[in-house]
Amino acid sequence: MRFFVTGEQKRQVVLNTIVLLFLGYIALLWISNGMMYFHKMGLTANSVVDYYLGSEQNFTQPVSYQSLLEVTHFHLFSMGILVLTLSHLLLFTPLALPLKIWLTGLTFFSAVANEAAGWLVRFVHPAFAYFKIGSFVLLEGSLAALIVLVSLSLITQRREHLVRGQVTPPPEGFMADKAKLRDEQSAFKTPL
């Protein structure tokens, strides 16, 4: 993250590429998150209630306390780290500060709300199914916004870098190290 704080990401093509690859990986996670949700339930209250409270028609049992606890335990940590990372990257985009704060807060809220909603449907009242649907849609939307905004910012910086013709010089002593390596390699080659 030091590269973002010092502004070196504008000069570092490799770092820019690594972060873009990370964002591509997170986009795949985003897709699989949606696929997992829609495998279990849909965007209707009945489907959410049937998943959490069980369904006699579908011969499914209610989600157990232990199952919810295990999923929540894992998600609170992993989603927290994911949202922290994406929000941190968002801070270094050229967007207005209020938008950054609003989007970061919205993403954290929707991640916690999405976890809490399952508990509320299962143990408080089935009407919280609407809250579950809303929090899921909000979480997916805010994560998509973070991924897209950070990606666009990096791509824009890369294009500006190329248009200006700025080339990042190799590290100090790079050419000397390369020549030394070549000499060492040639010393090991013996004529037949």
**Contact residues for 11 (Cβ-Cβ < 8 A; gap 6+):** 161, 166, 168
Whether 172 shows a pLDDT value over 70: the answer reads no
pLDDT at 7: 59
**Cβ atoms of 52 and 118 closer than 8 Å:** yes
First to last CA, the chain: 51
- C-alpha to C-alpha distance for 125 and 142, rounded to whole angstroms: 26
pLDDT at 159: 80
**Residue by residue, what is the 3-state secondary structure of 5-47?**
HHCHHHCCHHHHHHHHHHHHHHHHHHHHHHHHHHHHCCCCHHH
Whether 114 shows a pLDDT value over 80: the answer reads yes
Other beta carbons within 10 angstroms of residue 109's beta carbon come to: 15
Report pLDDT digits (tens) over 35-87.
999 999 999 999 999 999 988 888 889 999 999 999 999 999 999 999 999 99
**What's the predicted TM-score (pTM) here?**
0.76
Q: Which amino acid is at 108?
A: F
- C-alpha to C-alpha distance for 176 and 66, rounded to whole angstroms: 60
Burial, 106: exposed, middle or buried (Cβ in 10 Å; 0-12, 13-18, 19+)?
Answer: middle
Question: Which of 16-20, 113-117, 164-168 is the most confident on average?
Answer: 113-117
pLDDT at 13: 75
The residue with greater pLDDT, 1 or 136, is 136
Report pLDDT digits (tens) over 11-26.
577 788 888 999 999 9
Whether 3 shows a pLDDT value over 80: the answer reads no
